[in-house]
Amino acid sequence: MTDLKNKQAIEKNIPTWLTILLAAACGIIVANLYYAQPLIGLISSSIGLSESSAGFIVTLTQIGYVVGLLFIVPLGDIVENRRLIVVSLLLTAVALAAAAMAKQPLLFLGASLFIGLGSVATQVLVPFASYLATETTRGRVVGNIMSGLLLGIMLSRPLSSLVADLFGWHAIFALSAAAVVILAIVLSKVLPARRPATSTHYAVLLGSMWHLLRTTPILRRRAAYHACVFATFSLFWTTVPLLLSGPVFHFSQKAIALFALAGVAGAVAAPVAGRLADRGWTRLGTWIALATVVISVLLPLMIQTGSPIGIAVLVISAILLDAGVSANLVFGQRAIFSLGPEIRSRLNGLFMALFFFGGAIGSAIGGWAYASGGWSTVLWIGIAFPVAAMLYFATEKQ
């Protein structure tokens, strides 16, 4: 009887209020991965990390996220989804509280790892929504929810900068811990239960992921495309606060927050990409998304100046970068979610883990590249990733 009710609920399209709630939840959760990004200068000096090692503050969070994607998200195919989401959120809240109290590198870096691990609740929520959506509206629903997720990513940077400017960098982690606890309570009350029909053993489930990776070429390709653009995304947003706060621009944390806020405009690309995907224009849309990322890095590479023109170029670059990455992510997830529903959580976990690994590489390289060769070196490395994605995409059969 329970299975019948679940099936009937899944066959109905997702209500608007739940779409809005899931979009907001994804934004609140995923923001935790990026709060430290514009604060790496403040945090590293406070806890005693060198400038060349500062990138690891973000990298460890992303590594934790990748581990969670590979070992926690697949549980969505065999474990009741609402319970999995709530437990993951509570783990995140504990890790955020630890980060808020950290005064030494070891505690903060360890907390960063677990913040990433617990934040994979977003990638249980996104397939959850795709189950509730109909085939004809799946791209639109995923696009709308991903716009919430992407807004969380983009708003996290200005929010953390503003909070740090007013109350110190510890405060943003304390506030987020409280927000995540409240979110866990709300979701536990309003989310419908979803008990997967699959009864596979966890070890078998994990073993099947390698088989899925080998036998699903669209998964490998889409993950590779987005790993490249996400590496550039992480590279840019890990190093641009160092550039803006440096001797050329002398930006305060408040000014860096306003700059990061400009990138939010790029989130509008997500729902647009979802609608294009529903109409069968994924290939053209992917070309446009990848080209947009290339242009976003090419502009500041060609025009480097400390004048207002240089700032304007960086703002345009940030908007284009965020728009290209947002659109490409939706095209990738729409393609992945069009495959078998019984393996959707595993496919999504693999997809996200692979491209977040690219992001971890980008943020790790960013700190080193900026310390070693400056902003130009960062940009040359940043443009290589989307160019490689375009070359690989050109080999895809229509």
Q: How many CB atoms lie within 10 A of CB 318?
A: 25
Alpha-carbon dihedral 220, 223, 224, 227, rounded to 10 degrees: -160
Q: Which of 104-108, 377-381, 388-392 has the lowest mean pLDDT?
A: 104-108
* Model confidence pLDDT, tens digit, residues 169-228: 999 999 999 999 999 999 999 888 877 776 778 888 888 888 889 999 999 999 999 999
Q: Nearest CA to 245 among 163, 366, 156, 161?
A: 161
Q: How many CB atoms lie within 10 A of CB 369?
A: 24
Alpha-carbon dihedral 295, 328, 239, 373, rounded to 10 degrees: -50
- What does the alpha-carbon distance between residue 103 and residue 95 come to, in Å, rounded to a whole number? 14
Confidence of residue 154 (pLDDT cuts 50, 70, 90): confident
State whether residue 103 is helix, strand or coil: coil
Write down the pLDDT at residue 51.
64
Write down the pLDDT at residue 163.
92
Write down the pLDDT at residue 13.
66
Q: For the chain, what is the mean pLDDT?
A: 86
Over residues 352-373, the mean pLDDT reads 86
Write down the pLDDT at residue 149.
83
**263: pLDDT strictly greater than 90:** no
**151: pLDDT strictly greater than 80:** yes
Helix axis angle, 217-245 to 40-47, nearest 10°: 70
Domain boundaries, the chain: 12-393
What is the residue-wise DSSP string for 78-91? TS-HHHHHHHHHHH
* Model confidence pLDDT, tens digit, residues 5-44: 444 444 456 788 888 899 999 999 999 998 988 888 788 8
- What does the alpha-carbon distance between residue 27 and residue 83 come to, in Å, rounded to a whole number? 19
Q: Nearest CA to 102 among 170, 172, 164?
A: 170
Q: Nearest CA to 140 among 337, 292, 341?
A: 337
* Model confidence pLDDT, tens digit, residues 265-286: 887 787 888 788 888 888 999 9
* Model confidence pLDDT, tens digit, residues 333-346: 888 878 777 777 78
**372: pLDDT strictly greater than 60:** yes
Confidence of residue 398 (pLDDT cuts 50, 70, 90): low
Write down the pLDDT at residue 4.
38
* Model confidence pLDDT, tens digit, residues 251-261: 887 888 888 88
Write down the pLDDT at residue 83.
92
- What does the alpha-carbon distance between residue 319 and residue 297 come to, in Å, rounded to a whole number? 11
Alpha-carbon dihedral 349, 286, 341, 220, rounded to 10 degrees: -50
Confidence of residue 359 (pLDDT cuts 50, 70, 90): confident
**118: pLDDT strictly greater than 60:** yes
Residue listed under structure tokens 């590479």:
301
Tell me the whole-structure pTM to 2 decimals: 0.78
> What CATH number is given for 12-393 in this structure?
1.20.1250.20
Q: Nearest CA to 35 among 88, 92, 73, 84?
A: 92
